[in-house]
Structure 1
């Protein structure tokens, strides 16, 4: 009589990676779509309607301009999870584990400072003085209403007679969230490692090709 073999337990699947929080600029995305539509309309019209060297100039111009528009408007994004911060700028992708981040600063631009002292600008989270002023005015009105006992704030968050939580501009709130992650995760074992920087050749290469082609066409005359 045979006995069934003892089977080893199936290996556990790897723990899923934490989902990224993604920060982008809605205005940049809108501007990028509009610019691409304009460039495409003008470029295609020149390609199929113009004569002589104009179609070639239009083609070279499109090869040069389209990657730049994509790079500066649609491409920038900041990805953050429990282990690392990944910054996708127009021409580079920078990945920093939280243990390598020294600070997140806001002045004329938002930037991350690595422990090595290198600074990287956050293109996807631009500073907006207009949004800050608008948020400050909204906060002042809400605080005034609360002080008068006028009930809840316009956002419906603060009870009567209390000072509401300060409102923040969209990009300031994004930086606040990132600073919270930095404070919570900087010492985590899984958030250690080195900084990596990768050039965005998918943007750089066509831009260089378009510039060279346009320069040759203009030089030939």
Structure 2
């Protein structure tokens, strides 16, 4: 007797892979703090101001709050095996891997399409300070390897207790990854590009959508502010 097998119609499709999401923690923290300050000052002027002050405060809030949120809280990069979706302050770009020709890291991280278009990855900012620290770690690791010592340790060797000879221990502040965090993220994206660029499910057209939900209120606030200032 052969075992029963479920019919194709009864088999549920395999779930789609979840996106990996990259965001800047410092931008999120800075955005929240800035929004708290802006709202505190704005609502204080709105409810306690006199004359035209409440109207100016209202126009300023309508203008500033969407822009602050757009440039700090909004940016994110969503990655799966089929496409790269970039949510920048004012645009959302969806790029199938088959349309990506490369990823560049300089003073900013960018994705370049086969048509020659370039899109900055706002959610993956470059930290020159972190890059320099990682380069110093890499140089120290190479020097340790050339001397035949254990990377990140000082002294001639390690005792069974784990402490370095001569009372020296770990270089706690000097150990760590030899690549900055954002450079490691870009390496991961390049690996995904190399692995998936030729796959059938990773083909398609590039789409770009403007963030009207950000631009519309900011524009309305700017117009209201101009009207108030010019008619005062």
Give yes or no for TM over 0.5.
yes
The corresponding residue for 1:67 is 66
The corresponding residue for 1:92 is 91
Counterpart secondary structure, 1:124: coil
The corresponding residue for 1:194 is 205
Q: What displacement does 1:61 show?
A: 0.3
Q: 1:176 and 1:8, CA in 2 relative to 1: closer, same or farther beyond 3 A?
A: closer
The corresponding residue for 1:55 is 54
The corresponding residue for 2:230 is 219
1:27 aligns with 2:26: yes
1:136 aligns with 2:135: yes
The corresponding residue for 2:103 is 104
- CA distance in 2 between counterparts of 1:152 and 1:172 reads 21
Q: 1:129 and 1:187, CA in 2 relative to 1: closer, same or farther beyond 3 A?
A: same
1:185 aligns with 2:205: no
Q: What displacement does 1:149 show?
A: 4.0
- CA distance in 1 between counterparts of 2:177 and 2:71 reads 31
The number of residue pairs the alignment matches comes to 206
Deviations 1:112-158 (A, max 9, x none): 1111111111111111111100111222233334444443547xxxx
Q: 1:9 and 1:102, CA in 2 relative to 1: closer, same or farther beyond 3 A?
A: closer
Consecutive unaligned residues of structure 1, counting only runs of 5 or more, are 1-6, 155-163
Deviations 1:138-180 (A, max 9, x none): 22233334444443547xxxxxxxxx99711111111110000
Q: 1:123 and 1:82, CA in 2 relative to 1: closer, same or farther beyond 3 A?
A: same
Q: CA RMSD in A?
A: 2.0
The corresponding residue for 1:157 is none
Are the equivalent residues in 2 in contact too, given 1:22–1:78 (CA < 8 A)? yes
The corresponding residue for 2:179 is 168
The alignment's TM-score, normalised by the length of structure 1, stands at: 0.87
The corresponding residue for 2:171 is none
The corresponding residue for 1:158 is none
Consecutive unaligned residues of structure 2, counting only runs of 5 or more, are 1-5, 154-174
- CA distance in 1 between counterparts of 2:11 and 2:216 reads 43
| Aligned counterpart in structure 2 of residue 209 of structure 1, from 211, 214, 220 | 220
The corresponding residue for 1:36 is 35
The alignment's TM-score, normalised by the length of structure 2, stands at: 0.83
The corresponding residue for 2:80 is 81
Are the equivalent residues in 2 in contact too, given 1:146–1:153 (CA < 8 A)? no
